[in-house]
Amino acid sequence: MHAQLSFLDGTFSLIHIPLDLYPTLLQPILRVLLPQKQSLDTPKTCPEDEIGGLTADEFQHVFLNISITPIECSVVCHSSWATHVFQPLIDKLPKDQAESISISTDTYMVLSVISAGLDAAGRVMELSSPLALAGVPIFFITTYYSDFILVPTKERETVVEALSTKGFQLSDQNNFINPSAYSYGSTPADTSPPGTPRPSNVTELQDRAFELLQKRNVKPYVAEGLELVQCSGREISQLAESFMHRASIGRKSSVTETEKPTWIDGVDPKLYTRLVSALVSQPRFLSITLAQDDPPSILLDKTLLPMFGDSLIGDMDSKLTPIFLDLVSLPFEVTGIVCGVAGRLVNEMQMTETAELCYLSTARASAVILPEEQAIRARGILEPIFNQSAEVTETTPATE
């Protein structure tokens, strides 16, 4: 089995929005979801193919994640959208509100992972462990079709070295190919600052991660009654061709042959209308991932399914349970959390049984997402590790 990794074009920012300010920031969230050139405060002379984070042919996002969870609203978008859409509105807010919203100081690169036939738990471990051992902080997002890893732009050389040491090979300027089967024996070169020893193996790394979480009083919890389903938007190539054909017939008198299509020409308008409706309703849980070459991936509260009608495909009968970690007390650059938490579950529950494990990193939180029965086992594993005396909280914790 091969795992292929590709760096997506552009640099990206992470935005943390407290839930009480979500309604205030809804307008820029929708502007990013529905990308138009006028949404960016760029010079009118800026060529359309230089609009930040949009594909040159269809003007759709190279990568975008919008997640509303019981802990926060989190947005991962191209840095130009963070600067020109979110920041101007944040600057107009009262000081205490503006300070509670955070945009990552560092920018991030996005690695797209294509691992056909490989179980999800194995992918999380195989990809997170060498980067964690190299001291690279990551954000991991599992979607319907692919996995995505966010790594700091400034750590590109370290990322390349760590993955190369693990067995990944640079097949061209942007892609890695891992020709070997999964194994966890190799350790990347130590690139830690002098006087700051790095963990020597995955077990030590996991132990340190849990020690840090315990020190910061981070406890796993589930939101009572919250069940998720992982879905995809339908393939819309035929729909897009039909739409563009009808549009070209109706606009021949006013549209020139050289006019470029907008993003709406390449998406399912019905799906986006329903996404907007769901976002406006301030859902309990909704995570939208748009990525170049993938149909939209949507992880959502199962109670939202009637809102989407026939716009989604997937196993609608599944029941996925998220186990949340509120990481608001930890800095963006903390390392080892993904590998520590997911890795311990992989080890304790056996990889073959955790094949459906999903992981969602948001700006200030993490969620391990498992089928209902496996989630019960996972909670039993995590509870004593985090807190020997406390039970897992069954209610939503206070946010920032």
Question: What tens-digit pLDDT sequence spans the chain (400 residues)?
Answer: 456 788 898 999 999 999 999 999 999 999 999 987 655 555 554 444 445 778 776 678 899 999 999 999 999 999 999 999 999 999 999 999 999 999 999 999 999 887 655 566 667 777 888 888 888 999 999 999 888 999 999 999 999 888 888 777 555 555 666 654 433 333 333 434 444 467 778 888 888 888 888 888 888 889 999 999 999 997 655 444 444 444 444 444 444 444 556 667 777 889 999 999 999 999 999 999 999 888 999 999 999 999 999 999 999 998 999 999 999 888 877 877 888 888 888 778 865 545 578 899 999 999 999 998 889 888 888 888 776 434 444 444 433 3
What is the predicted pLDDT for the residue at 242?
A: 43
Q: How much is the pLDDT for 299?
A: 97
DSSP class of residue 264 equals G
Q: Which fold has domain 1-36+51-173+199-245+264-391?
A: VC0802-like (3.30.2130)
| pLDDT attached to residue 113 | 82
Any residues with CB less than 8 A from the CB of 167 and at least 6 apart, and which?
178, 179, 180, 183, 186
Q: What is the pLDDT of residue 267?
A: 78
Domain coordinates of the chain in residue numbers? 1-36+51-173+199-245+264-391
The beta strands (E) that lie in the chain are given as 3-7, 12-17, 63-68, 73-78, 102-103, 108-114, 139-142, 147-152, 169-170, 175-178, 228-233, 286-291, 294-301, 312-314, 320-326, 358-362, 365-371
Helix (H, G, I), strand (E, B) or coil at 205: helix
Helix 337-349 crosses helix 120-133 at what angle (to 10 degrees)? 140
Q: Residue 139 carries which side chain, given as an amino acid letter?
A: F
pLDDT in tens, 24-83: 999 999 999 998 765 555 555 444 444 577 877 667 889 999 999 999 999 999 999 999
Segment (H or E) for 133: helix 120-133
Supply the pLDDT for residue 235: 67
Instruction: Kindly write down the DSSP assignment for every residue of 319-379, as one continuous string.
Output: -EEEEEEE-TTS-TT--SHHHHHHHHHHHHH-GGGGTT-EEEEETTEEEEEEEHHHHHHHH
